[in-house]
Amino acid sequence: AQSVTQLGSHVSVSEGALVLLRCNYSSSVPPYLFWYVQYPNQGLQLLLKYTTGATLVKGINGFEAEFKKSETSFHLTKPSAHMSDAAEYFCAVSDRGANSKLTFGKGITLSVRP
Amino acid sequence: GAVVSQHPSWVICKSGTSVKIECRSLDFQATTMFWYRQFPKQSLMLMATSNEGSKATYEQGVEKDKFLINHASLTLSTLTVTSAHPEDSSFYICSASGQGTSGYNEQFFGPGTRLTVL
């Protein structure tokens, strides 16, 4: 069975500071990996995904993540936080099948201080 | 492209009544749809997976007779919460995936439906 660990429930950064949200996964085979963002009372928006190829993936809004197989990690980063980045962030994993279901981490709330 | 809508966006009902939530893929054919449930400040929990024209596959612990899922067409899936009780109050989110070109079919999420059972 797959699982996703997102340590901590809340991260607070100053505007302009580096954003680092950690994600570790457990899977018997290399999975597909995702980061989603959720704003209050809304659905999920895909930030970026890793399926194959380059291990450093770039997403929307200046976010990027690096798949590190040896560390079973897929941490999300952004060099400079913006106030609009304040939201809930979920890391997710799925099998490498075409319509495989997603397993989500518990999520982490990002706050951005002026 | 790849827009998924849900209706209604919020609903309040009395205990014992049934509520139907629609999930539509607006600009693509969704061969598979997923239904999730999210409690406040918590993650999404997959309830069931449905393929067009087939019976839904429910996750362990989800009552199939309480949460009826129908995926009658390639653009519409419905979730009916039967005999709703206050503990069914939650945020329900659907996602839809179609035929991708890279061997992976991305899930596109709807905006969610807030259900409150009084």
pLDDT digits (tens, 9 = 90+) for A10-50: 999 999 999 999 999 998 787 899 999 999 878 889 999 99
Contact B32 A106 (CB under 8 A): no
pLDDT at B26 over 60: yes
Average pLDDT, chain B: 90
B91 to chain A, minimum CA–CA distance in Å?
A: 8
pLDDT computed for residue B112 by the predictor: 93
Contact A32, A96 (CB under 8 A): yes
Q: Taking a C-beta distance cutoff of 8 angstroms, is the pair A19, A110 a contact? A: yes
Looking at chain B from residue 79 to 108, which residues have their Cβ under 8 Å from any Cβ of chain A?
A: 91, 93, 95, 97, 100, 102-107
Task: Give the span between the Cα atoms of B115 and B13, in whole angstroms.
Answer: 8
Phi, psi values for residue B102, rounded to 5°: -115, 15
d(CA A54, CA A50): 8
- Taking the alpha carbons at both ends of chain B, their separation in whole angstroms is 37
Mean pLDDT across chain A, nearest whole number?
Answer: 92
Per-residue pLDDT at B100: 54
Give percent of chain B above pLDDT 70.
94
pLDDT at site A1: 75
- B46/A102 Cβ within 8 A: yes
**The predicted structure's pLDDT at residue A98:** 65
Determine the residue among A44, A103, A108 to mutate to test chain B binding: the one whose Cβ has the most chain B Cβ atoms within 10 Å.
A44
- pLDDT for B103 beyond 80: no
**Contact yes or no for A102 and B34 at CB 8 A:** yes
d(CA A57, CA A49): 7
Residue of A nearest to B47 (CA): A101
- For residue B58, the chain A residue with the least C-alpha distance is A101
Q: Do A101 and B46 touch (CB under 8 A)?
A: yes
pLDDT of residue B43: 87
| Residue A97 clears pLDDT 90, i.e. is over it | no
Residue of A nearest to B93 (CA): A43
Residue pair A22/A66 in contact (Cβ under 8 Å)? The answer is no
Do A23 and A5 contact (CB within 8 A), yes or no? yes
Confidence check: pLDDT of B102 > 60? no
Contact A43 B34 (CB under 8 A): no
d(CA B108, nearest CA chain A) in Å:
8
At B34-92, the pLDDT tens digits run 999 998 878 899 999 998 888 899 999 999 999 999 988 889 999 999 999 999 999 99
Question: What's the rounded mean pLDDT across residues A89-109?
Answer: 87
Q: How confident is the model at residue A92 (pLDDT cuts 50, 70, 90)?
A: very high
pLDDT value of residue B41? 79
| Closest Cα in chain A to B92 | A43
Q: Identify the pLDDT of residue B1.
A: 62
pLDDT reported for residue A28: 76
CB of B97 closer than 8 Å to CB of B35? no
**Beta-carbon separation of B112 and A107 below 8 A:** no
